[in-house]
Structure 1
Amino acid sequence: MTQTAPIGRPRIPRDKANDYAESAAKARRDFIRDQTGVELKHTGSYSFDATETQGNCEHFTGVAQVPLGIAGPVLVNGEHAQGEFYVPMATAEGTLVASYNRGMRLTREAGGITVTVADDAMQRAPVFAFDNARTAKQFGAWIIDNMATIRATAEATTSIGKLRNVEHYAAARFLYLRFNFTTGDAAGQNMCGKATHAACQWILANSPFAVERFSLSGNMDTDKKPSQINFLHSRGKRVIAECTIPDQLMRDVMGIDCKSLYRRRIMSMTGAFMAGSMNNGAHAANGITATFIATGQDAANVAESCVGAAVGELTDDGSYYFSITLPSLICASYGGGTGLPSQRECLEMMDCYGQGKARKLAEIIGATVLAGEMSLAAAVATGDWVTSHEQYGRNR
């Protein structure tokens, strides 16, 4: 074990030869014990080889064990996911798994949830600054004229990424270019960053217009932030889940009639509008976060993935049609944290690990979110929301 001599304060141990060895992780647990007096007994208990974390976590020290529950089966009528699936949900919130399980029962008995992936793209949005707005406009026209070369330069950096199109947004003397890529079964942020960087280096070297300043990210991709542009143009997968619940089934399972639930939906939508919320539903972030943690997704992507539009309608026969649109659901079945042992098992449980499975996973997550929306909305309307937390949660 090698360690740089401390300057002012002790430094976290590192092993320059193999910082992902179990010995390196143990050295860091010992370091924490010496510095804080806390023995990392549970943190240091895991079943996989420490070296498997390389590329996923620096200074690997141990694991944060999150309880894992199983909900389902959820019946999905998708283009990529068809049939019943048991959904792994990692959470420390009591009642969450039970609530999603109840929603899955309701929708299953109603014939399942229809899910559609309406769009799929990942972005990087560089910005270029010029002497004035007129030059920025002319630069934009030059970009359009040279798209073939720009596309070829970007795609040369990746075996699966494809540059679909580039959007132009002008403001002041800046031109923002929003590069839209398809990224296969990977989430694709890093892939897009590398490809866009290569394209921009070609642009900077060949542009006939003097670029005063340039940034690879002008923040119009709104990475890991909710935004109106992603609501309209999508980031990741645009997933639409929908289901129709007969009135008697709603009464039997949820204890409320469809008309009453619909009236509650109107009040809820109005409140969300007044608050300026980026989601007018109940709690999409709960289902997304729990499945993200279980399956090795980048949990920070919940920030944009939980944006959504929930729509409820009464049908002519008194049934309740409900849908939720998730315009920026970012999930992967390959790469990133999906290959870690526990996370891979959770993906395999749904047959969602590996290539060709990302849209299937997105459809299952979309269906899960809808089931949770139905359950919580009914629980709030009937008063079960508080009593359920008292029974299953840690309320005291």
Structure 2
Amino acid sequence: MTTDAASATPESGTPAEYDERVTPIPTRWVGPIRVSGNAVEGEIEVPLATYESPLWPSVGRGARLSRQIEGGIVATVVGERMTRSVLLRARGAGAAHLASIDVQQRFDELAAVVAAQSRFAQLVEIHPEIVGDLLFLRFAFTTGDASGHNMVTAASEALLSTVLAWHPELEYGSISGNYCSDKKATAVNGILGRGRSVVAEMLIPAALVESTLRSSTQRIVDLNTGKNLVGSTIAGALRSANAHYANMLLAFYLATGQDAANIVEGSQGITYAENRDGDLYFSTTLPHLIVGTVGNGKHLPGVNAALDRLGCREEREPGANARRLAALIAASVLCGEISLLAAQTNPGELMAAHVAMERGAARRGGSKA
């Protein structure tokens, strides 16, 4: 059943009994979104858990737009890896440099160490950095359908022990040296990759820009340049130029049992818009989505049901379900991003929508979906 938030009716009645162990978050299924690409095909509704009720109709408008275009939103998963960087100390930079060379030359041996202690983790890259007498080794792994936080930490523990056994002149520094980089806004994740990297894009005919978004191609292109590209640059954003990726990411993460703190790096991404003979090319690039369909949090009944409904619990090759989830998240981000930008091309539209929805919900005593 289609449940675009714009047409959903909040339930009223007696509030549920208070339980201090549970924080209820209103959740609605929005869409369906028409998606194609290398990880998912079809029209799929998505769950968004949020207190910001205008987010539902905003994403819903983008979803309606996608259903009016052949192929809808094309979501392409362009990479996947999870990282952990270990920190070691050497007697000096020379010793650190020699050790780093040896570690890279013995990649196959280290890959075998990982394979021996994990069914799903596979070592795909080692990237060293030396600062003074400090040696950072940034290990990158594929992790199947898990986001991989614990999996890569366990693998890195094994690799760290092996490297220290090979090089007794080195000293242990930390299992995590912040060069990973986990739950922090950094440049390295976008450059080297962390999590699932997805590009979502759509070519929107000019007529639909006007009828569905109530804007124009050039106004949206100009706003994206001025707001997202220039505005983010003067603000000092790190490899990030977007309007509100974090809104859609947090709502999707909470509904599907992801580690919500990973929206810190997940919301770093770039929105790009181009006028193509009057039609609007619009894309959202999310280089580091830390998401999974198995692991911690996925056992909860609501999360389980959501992942089943999203089609992310099917019998597929390891990693395919997580790639499907990442593609759906990227498509949802595009829906919310283009809707907000379109609203901001019209003076007063954004505030009017918030006032109408949030004050209406307050008068009704809140909503439950």
The TM-score with structure 2 as length reference comes to 0.88
Residue 166 of structure 1 aligns to a residue whose secondary structure is strand
The equivalent of 2:339 in structure 1 is: 375
Alignment of 1:341 with 2:301, yes or no, is yes
Alpha-carbon distance, 1:331 to partner: 0.8
1:184 corresponds to which letter in structure 2? G
Alpha-carbon distance, 1:302 to partner: 0.9
Alpha-carbon distance, 1:298 to partner: 0.9
The equivalent of 2:92 in structure 1 is: 132
The equivalent of 1:98 in structure 2 is: 57
The CA distance in 1 between the partners of 2:309 and 2:359, in whole Å, is: 29
Q: How many pairs does the alignment contain?
A: 339
Residue 224 of structure 1 aligns to a residue whose secondary structure is coil
Equivalent of residue 145 in structure 2, options 156, 171, 185? 185
The CA distance in 1 between the partners of 2:201 and 2:340, in whole Å, is: 16
Alignment of 1:42 with 2:17, yes or no, is yes
The equivalent of 1:219 in structure 2 is: 178
Give deviations 1:84-129, integer Å, cap 9, x for gaps: 0001110111201110001111122133000111010000100111
The CA distance in 1 between the partners of 2:18 and 2:256, in whole Å, is: 20
Alpha-carbon distance, 1:337 to partner: 1.0
The CA distance in 1 between the partners of 2:251 and 2:204, in whole Å, is: 25
- Contact 1:110 1:249 (8 Å CA) reproduced: no
The TM-score with structure 1 as length reference comes to 0.83
Equivalences for residues 174-253 of structure 1 within 5 A:
174-207=134-167, 210-253=169-212
The equivalent of 1:141 in structure 2 is: 101
Alignment of 1:314 with 2:268, yes or no, is no
Alpha-carbon distance, 1:338 to partner: 1.6
Equivalent of residue 121 in structure 2, options 161, 166, 183? 161
Equivalent of residue 293 in structure 1, options 235, 254, 262? 254
The equivalent of 2:365 in structure 1 is: none
The equivalent of 1:107 in structure 2 is: 66
Alpha-carbon distance, 1:346 to partner: 1.0
The equivalent of 2:312 in structure 1 is: 352
Alpha-carbon distance, 1:213 to partner: 4.1
- Contact 1:125 1:178 (8 Å CA) reproduced: yes
- Contact 2:164 2:171 (8 Å CA) reproduced: no
Larger Rg: 1
**Aligned CA-pair RMSD:** 1.7
Higher relative contact order (CA 8 A, sep 6+): 2
Alpha-carbon distance, 1:309 to partner: 1.0
Alpha-carbon distance, 1:41 to partner: 7.3
Which runs of 5 or more structure 2 residues have no equivalent in the other structure? 1-14, 363-369
Alignment of 1:389 with 2:339, yes or no, is no
2:17 corresponds to which letter in structure 1? H
Equivalent of residue 133 in structure 2, options 152, 168, 173? 173
The equivalent of 2:218 in structure 1 is: 259
- Contact 1:130 1:213 (8 Å CA) reproduced: no
Which runs of 5 or more structure 1 residues have no equivalent in the other structure? 1-39, 45-60
1:148 corresponds to which letter in structure 2? D
The CA distance in 1 between the partners of 2:220 and 2:122, in whole Å, is: 44
- Contact 1:133 1:174 (8 Å CA) reproduced: yes
Identity %: 34
Alpha-carbon distance, 1:178 to partner: 0.5
- Contact 1:43 1:65 (8 Å CA) reproduced: no
Give deviations 1:234-263, integer Å, cap 9, x for gaps: 110011000111111110011111111111
Alpha-carbon distance, 1:299 to partner: 0.8
Residue 357 of structure 1 aligns to a residue whose secondary structure is helix
Residue 392 of structure 1 aligns to a residue whose secondary structure is helix
The equivalent of 1:20 in structure 2 is: none
Give deviations 1:219-238, integer Å, cap 9, x for gaps: 10011112100011111001
Residue 177 of structure 1 aligns to a residue whose secondary structure is strand
The CA distance in 1 between the partners of 2:121 and 2:309, in whole Å, is: 27
Give deviations 1:298-347, integer Å, cap 9, x for gaps: 111111111101111111x2111011110100111112112211011111
Alpha-carbon distance, 1:138 to partner: 0.7
Give deviations 1:143-165, integer Å, cap 9, x for gaps: 12322222211222211110011
